[in-house]
Amino acid sequence: MAGSVGGRGGIKSEINVTPLVDVVLVLLIIFMVVTPMLQRGKDVNLPKARQTEEAKGTDPLVLSVTREKTVWVESNLVDENALEKAVADAVRREPGRRLLVKGDDALKMGDVRRVMRRAHQGGARGVALAVQEKKP
């Protein structure tokens, strides 16, 4: 045991690393569980762009359009006809909230524009498109 007084050797000055390893493993498990929850919206393959801008301001409402053309508001699956109402409810709760559209790179621009038009009809004013930065 660290810090015990012995006969011949005197006080042992060894570090007991077991509690340190326990704490590190608990933190690792916590990060492994929490990290997947940090991603907002549905997971899609974003199109790549050379120039990107960092979004500033309030927390945007994330609208995801998957490869199968399903529409998600945050983590809720929404029918395209109900999208207008879902956006209107979100805008009513937080007026001036921006909309971040995450469209899969396999989609045609017309599919994304149709969803953006529905969101605009629901009251969304500031719309941004999510892209992934191209690595040189």
Angle among Cα 43, 36, 60 to the nearest 5 degrees reads 60
CATH code of the domain containing 95 = 3.30.420.270
**Is there a domain that residue 5 lies in?**
no
CB 58 within 8 A of CB 94: yes
Does residue 92 belong to any structural domain of this protein?
Answer: yes
Residue 38 lies in a domain: no
Residue 34 resides in a domain: no
CA angle 86, 87, 91 (to 5 degrees): 120
Predicted confidence band of residue 21 (pLDDT cuts 50, 70, 90): very high
- The verdict on residue 111 lying in a domain is yes
Say what the pLDDT of residue 2 is: 54
Tens digit of pLDDT for each residue in 96-129?
778 888 888 888 888 888 888 888 888 887 787 7
Could you read off the pLDDT of 31-45 as tens digits, one per residue?
Answer: 888 876 666 666 676
Total domain count, the chain: 1
Q: Which H helix or E strand runs over 27?
A: helix 18-38
Is residue 94 in a domain?
A: yes
Instruction: Print the domain residue range for 62.
Output: 48-133
Q: Are strands 71-73 and 61-65 parallel, antiparallel or unpaired?
A: antiparallel
Q: Which two tokens stand for residue 80?
A: 């395209």
Model confidence at 23, in pLDDT bands (50, 70, 90)? very high
Does pTM surpass 0.75?
Answer: no
- Model pLDDT, residue 90: 84
What's the full length of the chain, in residues? 136
Position 40 in a domain: no
